[in-house]
Structure formats: C-alpha cells, structure tokens
C-alpha cells in the first residue's frame, strides 16, 4: 500500500469512531428550559424585651420558549409580628406578557395586584398595556423603559370601590457583578386619570448571590409610596428590608 493511501486509511479509522460520539452528544444535549424561576422564604425571630417574628415568601416564574413571547409571574408576601401584634401584612402579585417587535422594542400587557391592610388597601388591581424599549441589552447588564395605559380598581377599608383610568410607567436595570452575583433595580409608577395627585410608586433594589447551583441568597429593599391615603393617620410611605433563601428550578 502506498504511503499516502496508508495515511488516509489511518485517518479514517481515527475519525470514524468520533463522528457517532459527536452526533450522540448533540442528540443527548438537554434542550434549553422553557420554564425557569425560583421560590424562597426568609424568617427572623427575636426574644427578650421584645418578641418579634418576621417572615416572607417569594416566588417568580418565567416562560421563555426562545420565541418573541416571554411571560413572567411573581409573588411576594411579607408578615411581621411584635409582641403578638401584627405590624405588617402585605401581598403583591404580578403577571406580565411581553412580545418583541424587534431586538429592543416590545409591547406588553401586565396585571399587578396589591393587598395591604396597614395602608387600608383591601385590594388594588391595575390591568395595563403599553410599549417598552431596551436601551441597554448585553450579557452583563440590561436597562429597560416602558409605559402605557390601563385601569384601576381600588378597594380601601371602609370605602366603596373606586375605579379610574391610569397612566403607567416602569423602569428596570440589572447588572451581573460575576457569574454568581447580580444586582437589580426596578421602579413602577401609577397615576390615576381621575386625579393625577393620586399616585402609587414602587421601588425595589436587590442583590442575589449563588451558594450552590440551586440555592441563592437574596437581599432586597422595597419602598412603596402612595401619596393619597384613606385617612391622615395612614402613612404614605412604607419600606421593607428582607432577606430570603431561594431555590432555583
């Protein structure tokens, strides 16, 4: 056998076994997840001169089938008791559907819900829709603005349900400090068209770091401001500083 033919035969013998292996690895590679998210909880108990108990439950879910449509849902419950007296009892739920018009522009529909007896809010529901634009979108950071119109149904304790149109605005920013740690910031605003002075603002800042592949620690500061309250004894501004352990799925 000629040397050239011998080299070709040897090369074919070496490469041929690798071809099925590569094909098998590609076939068995796990497809990207359609659903991702996390759920978690935090608890703090103190005793002595003051007995306190604080806990929170959190949940978020994202459906991203790598198409133009992304659906997000989230929930947060905060409860605080001091000397057997409840001092905080707040529930916030959110649903959002975004459809990309381009790499940066999108339309959205959202449905936030808030219940906060200490603000004398039995419930506040604000279905809305509008446009959004991603000013920055890289592997490390994103910055997004959105705005639109909607309606609000607000039921305050001892007061009949109030309805109004709304103007809505939102802004969000996230930045990856490392492969395991990231920071995020979000701001939303609601103005009632029946009374522009009646507005509701929400601000959130969070730091999330991974302990293991599935477990994360989240430290979060929340600020809710409603400049029109049912009566003067209700404070306009509420803040919360919470720590949670999250389980990713």
What are the Cα distances from residue 218, in Å, to 30, 79, 187, 215? 28, 17, 18, 10
Is residue 195 situated within a structural domain?
A: yes
pLDDT at 24: 54
Is residue 28 situated within a structural domain?
A: no
- Domains contained in the chain, number: 1
d(CA 142, CA 149): 24
Query: For 43-86, how does the pLDDT look when each residue is reduced to its tens digit (9 = 90+)?
Result: 878 777 778 899 999 999 999 999 999 999 999 999 999 888 99
Per-residue pLDDT for 22 more than 60?
Answer: no
Considering only residues 130 and 27, tell me which one the structure prediction assigns the higher pLDDT.
Answer: 130
Is residue 11 situated within a structural domain?
A: no
Query: For 171-187, how does the pLDDT look when each residue is reduced to its tens digit (9 = 90+)?
Result: 999 999 999 999 999 99
Q: Which residues contact 185 (CB under 8 A, 6 or more apart)?
A: 172, 173, 174, 203, 204, 205, 206
By C-alpha distance, which of 234, 202, 200 is closest to 221? Answer: 202
Residues spanned by the domain of 186: 36-248
Is residue 223 situated within a structural domain?
A: yes
For position 88, which CATH number holds? Answer: 2.40.160.40
Is residue 29 situated within a structural domain?
A: no
Is residue 22 situated within a structural domain?
A: no
- pTM value? 0.85
């Amino acid at each position: 056998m000629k040397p050239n033919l011998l080299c070709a035969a040897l090369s074919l013998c070496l490469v041929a076994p690798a071809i099925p292996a590569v094909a098998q690895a590609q076939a068995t590679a796990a497809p990207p997840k359609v659903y991702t998210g996390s759920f978690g909880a935090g608890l703090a108990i103190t005793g002595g001169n003051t007995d306190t108990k604080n806990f929170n439950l959190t949940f978020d879910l994202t459906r991203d089938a790598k198409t133009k449509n992304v659906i997000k849902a989230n929930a947060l419950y905060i409860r605080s008791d001091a000397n057997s007296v409840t001092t905080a009892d707040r529930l916030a739920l959110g649903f959002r559907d975004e459809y990309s018009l381009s790499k940066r522009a999108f339309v959205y529909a959202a449905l936030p819900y808030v219940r906060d007896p200490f603000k004398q809010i039995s419930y506040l529901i604000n279905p809305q829709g509008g446009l959004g634009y991603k000013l920055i979108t890289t592997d490390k950071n994103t910055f997004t603005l959105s705005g639109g119109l909607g309606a609000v149904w607000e039921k305050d304790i001892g007061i009949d349900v109030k309805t109004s149109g709304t103007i809505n605005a939102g802004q969000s920013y996230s930045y990856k400090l490392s492969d395991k740690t990231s920071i995020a910031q979000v701001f939303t605003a609601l103005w009632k068209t029946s009374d522009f002075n009646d507005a509701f603002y929400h601000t959130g800042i969070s730091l999330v770091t991974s302990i293991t592949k599935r477990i994360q620690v989240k430290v979060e500061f929340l600020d809710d401001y409603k400049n029109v309250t049912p009566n003067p004894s209700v404070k306009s501004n509420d803040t919360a500083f919470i720590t949670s352990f999250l389980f990713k799925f």
